[in-house]
Amino acid sequence: MSEQSQANDNAVGARAQLTTADGTSYTYYRLERLVELGLLDSIERLPFTVRILLENVLRNVGGEFAGQNHLEALAKWQPAAGSAGDDFELPFLPARVVLQDFTGVPCVVDLAAMRSAMHTLGGDVTKINPLVPVDLVIDHSVQVDRFGTLAAFGHNVDLEYERNQERYELLRWGQRAFQNFRVVPPGTGIVHQVNLEYLAPVVATKDDASGTVAFPDTLVGTDSHTTMINALGVLGYGVGGIEAEAVMLGQPLYQLSPEVVGLKFTGGMNPGTTATDLVLAVTELLRKHGVVGRFVEYCGTGLSNLSLADRATIANMAPEYGATAGLFPIDDETLRYLRLTGREDAQIDLVERYAKEQGLFRTDETPDPEFNEILELDLATIEPSLAGPRRPQDRVALGAVQRVFRDAYDTVFTADGDGHDIEGGDNGYDEQSMESFPASDPPAAMAGQTDEGKIPGESAAAQVAEDREVTATAVLQRPITSEHVGDVSIRVEGMDVDLHHGSVVIAAITSCTNTSNPSVMLGAGLLAKKAIERGLDVPPYVKTSLAPGSQVVTRYLDDAGVSPYLNALGFHVVGFGCTTCIGNSGPLPEVVANAVDENDLVVASVLSGNRNFEGR
């Protein structure tokens, strides 16, 4: 039930009341009021991304940062380039901040320094606190030192505490000292999965002088894959430490009027394909089209065929396809996931009522918003794939992996090769470097640039299809061979084995992208079961690891009865954190590392992560 509030202190009269099933009343800021005032012709034509940003400005009009001019400029948003107000800077005030331990520690140090300065001045140090809720999840410090044994997890956690004792003591102090600041301890999970499963309310609330205000949950985080939360209909993206600190201290992020590219999903995926295959196709398509400095928003009836976990996989890889964020609007699947993860019934009811009241709820009958550009992807065209050997946007159909790998390292596998690489086009920022660790975001210099690598006058989808055909034709001309090149004999764990060019020396089930998805994880468990039943094993020179996105994952793997099979192949839990995905794979066994170095072998890692930069 909704009724307009009599007590309205908002300059445009947008305050209203929303009552939930349990009789709780919330104040909210009606977007429909902008239509009534003639500032906006229709809410339905706006992308959901713009609706969320518009509510943010509307709710803060008359405050320190947002004025009537900001509201009117964003209300006039049009998809056509050069429309009124499209070069206007808008103040965005996120509801909360998420941090991880690498980039979060400096934020805590700065808050501590502010308290020290306050003490020196004789002031009250307890007044120095974050002004918005802040959650710091410790996930970036665990390293895979021990593997292939049930003792791996405990050993790696002990080493993690030993190496990071001073940092962790600081964070524990911060949690006790500051208001609005929580720390999720080591060994719990990856920040983005914890955010998805537990931290995100989807609709946030805050008490003010007139009662409790409800508004869309929004956030920024000090990690590029913060975008994973967009799967829940929560607008969030990664920023630098300075920007995160500014938001913590109540300052807005200023951004230009948003450009939004729509990606319309139709149909459904075929058996044998996964969300991983889908996100690699999406990444390939969007990198070809060009979405750097832009928002992506997903629409179409195909959304109803994607689980929340599948959506999270796609939203997670926004940095890889270059977008600021990739938003999935709130719908029935969102509510189902909130129930699945144990959110309270009252909160789920609030999410549903608020989203429907504000035009933030999607159904299959919802008309497509007006986007700056719109692309389409038929889910039935997705095929089993991986990406490699050097960049996440280089999608390779599963059947072409050997040929593509050998083509990429032509001088290694042929006597007369020319050493050419398979990468096509040079966008200037695709090459990895030492400076890219542990994340590699699109540089600010590229913001607003579109269509990188795209042929003028040809759609990105058409160009991707054409490129696939050309690549497939060239690759298929190369013969498949079982002949190894560069064989080196070594002795590992009492066994004599051969290493060669192309040997897989790291196999890691890791990262927030895939270990958060039950269908993919259970698929890995079933594959392990079938492998054991057929007498297959992993060569002893392969460093195997399993680093789930949260402890929930190990519970359902155990409940499904597949954990023993994964363990039998060496995929024991090594930690609950980012591990190999951010380069924390730990050292290879010495005998393997020496053989690789001394014989200049080109070896490979196979991982379920979102980053596959060479040497990482």
Encode pLDDT of 529-543 as tens digits: 999 999 999 999 999
| SS3 state at 20 | coil
Of the pLDDT bands very low, low, confident and very high (cuts 50, 70, 90), residue 378 is very high
Residue 441 scores a pLDDT above 50: no
Residue 287 scores a pLDDT above 60: yes
Tell whether 158 and 72 lie within a shared domain. Answer: no
In a domain, 439, yes or no: no
In a domain, 346, yes or no: yes
Q: pLDDT tens digits, residue range 69-78?
A: 999 999 999 9
Tell whether 189 and 49 lie within a shared domain. Answer: no
The one-character DSSP state at 361 is B
Residue 486 scores a pLDDT above 80: no
Tell whether 219 and 322 lie within a shared domain. Answer: yes
Among 64, 92, 120, residue at a domain's last position: 92
Amino acid at position 110, single letter: D
Q: Give the residue from 393, 401, 460, 463 showing the smallest Cα distance to 430.
A: 393
Helices 275-289 & 518-533 angle (0-180, nearest 10): 130
In a domain, 615, yes or no: no
pLDDT of residue 209: 84
In a domain, 479, yes or no: no
pTM here? 0.88
- Out of 20-24, 51-55, 273-277, 448-452, least confident range: 448-452
- Total number of domains constituting the chain: 3
> In the beta sheet, which residues pair with residue 557?
none
Tell whether 179 and 60 lie within a shared domain. Answer: no
Residue 474, both tokens = 């060239």
Q: For residue 181, report the phi and psi dihedrals to the nearest 5 degrees.
A: -140, 120
In a domain, 407, yes or no: no
Residue 581, both tokens = 């995905």
Tell whether 20 and 168 lie within a shared domain. Answer: no
Q: Which residue has the tokens 């590992």?
A: 492
Whole-number Å distance between alpha carbons of 28 and 475: 58
Residue 350 scores a pLDDT above 80: yes
| SS3 state at 181 | strand
pLDDT of residue 23: 96
pLDDT of residue 80: 77
Among 381, 407, 438, residue at a domain's last position: 381
In a domain, 527, yes or no: yes
Tell whether 240 and 171 lie within a shared domain. Answer: yes
The average confidence (pLDDT) of the chain is: 86
Tell whether 66 and 136 lie within a shared domain. Answer: no
User: Which CATH number covers residue 144?
Assistant: 3.30.499.10
Tell whether 83 and 133 lie within a shared domain. Answer: no
Residue 387 scores a pLDDT above 90: no
Residue 195 scores a pLDDT above 90: yes
The one-character DSSP state at 62 is T
Residue 20, both tokens = 């939930």
**Average pLDDT for 433-453:** 39
pLDDT of residue 502: 87
| SS3 state at 242 | helix
Residue 362, both tokens = 């999607």
Among 365, 381, 397, residue at a domain's last position: 381
Domain range for residue 306? Answer: 96-103+129-381
Of the pLDDT bands very low, low, confident and very high (cuts 50, 70, 90), residue 394 is confident
Whole-number Å distance between alpha carbons of 261 and 281: 16
Residue 291, both tokens = 């979405």
Residue 84 scores a pLDDT above 80: no
Tell whether 74 and 188 lie within a shared domain. Answer: no
Q: pLDDT tens digits, residue range 109-157?
A: 999 999 999 999 999 999 999 999 999 999 888 889 999 999 999 999 9
Residue 428 scores a pLDDT above 50: no
Tell whether 52 and 194 lie within a shared domain. Answer: no
Q: Give the residue from 172, 169, 178 showing the smallest Cα distance to 131.
A: 178
Residue 397, both tokens = 């159909």
Q: pLDDT tens digits, residue range 248-284?
A: 999 999 999 999 999 999 999 999 999 999 999 999 9
Whole-number Å distance between alpha carbons of 605 and 250: 43
Q: Which residue has the tokens 């920007």?
A: 243
The one-character DSSP state at 196 is I
Q: Are strands 385-387 and 395-397 parallel, antiparallel or unpaired?
A: antiparallel
Tell whether 143 and 268 lie within a shared domain. Answer: yes
Of the pLDDT bands very low, low, confident and very high (cuts 50, 70, 90), residue 426 is very low
Whole-number Å distance between alpha carbons of 73 and 83: 10
Share of residues in the chain with pLDDT > 70 (%): 85
Q: Are strands 385-387 and 253-256 parallel, antiparallel or unpaired?
A: unpaired
Which class for 255: exposed (0-12), middle (13-18), buried (19 or more C-beta within 10 A)?
Answer: middle
Q: Give the residue from 328, 324, 278 showing the smallest Cα distance to 308.
A: 328
In a domain, 73, yes or no: yes
**Average pLDDT for 208-221:** 94
Q: pLDDT tens digits, residue range 306-349?
A: 999 999 999 999 999 999 999 999 999 999 999 999 999 999 99
Instruction: Between 109 and 390, name the one with better pLDDT.
Output: 109
Q: Give the residue from 262, 454, 487 showing the smallest Cα distance to 376.
A: 262
Tell whether 172 and 83 lie within a shared domain. Answer: no
In a domain, 406, yes or no: no
Share of residues in the chain with pLDDT > 90 (%): 68
Q: The dihedral of CA 29, 35, 39, 43: what is its sign?
A: positive
